[in-house]
Amino acid sequence: MAERSFAREVEKLRLGAGEEFAGEGILAITKALLQCGVGYVGGYQGAPISHLMDVLADAQD
């Protein structure tokens, strides 16, 4: 299975307070983690959180 890029969708993470998010669940989870102050996520290729790792990697780029 090819790795998915979330580069365009990551821009939705910049929504501010009171703005409504509409998109993939993994992006909502990522935004919630960032708002809670999570600064590090670890995992491995094929892990249950591999989509989250892809989103965070695309956000860093």
* pTM confidence score: 0.58
In-domain check, residue 3: no
Does pLDDT of 6 surpass 60? yes
**Domain hosting residue 40, numbered range:** 9-60
Domain count, the chain: 1
**Band (15; pLDDT cuts 50, 70, 90):** confident
In-domain check, residue 27: yes
Conformational region of residue 30, where left means phi above 0, alpha means psi within -120 to 50, and beta covers everything else: alpha
Residue-wise pLDDT tens digits, 18-53: 888 888 888 888 888 888 888 788 877 777 787 888
In-domain check, residue 39: yes
In-domain check, residue 1: no
Q: Rounded to the nearest 10 degrees, what angle do helices 25-35 and 50-60 cross at?
A: 70
In-domain check, residue 53: yes
In-domain check, residue 13: yes
In-domain check, residue 37: yes
In-domain check, residue 2: no
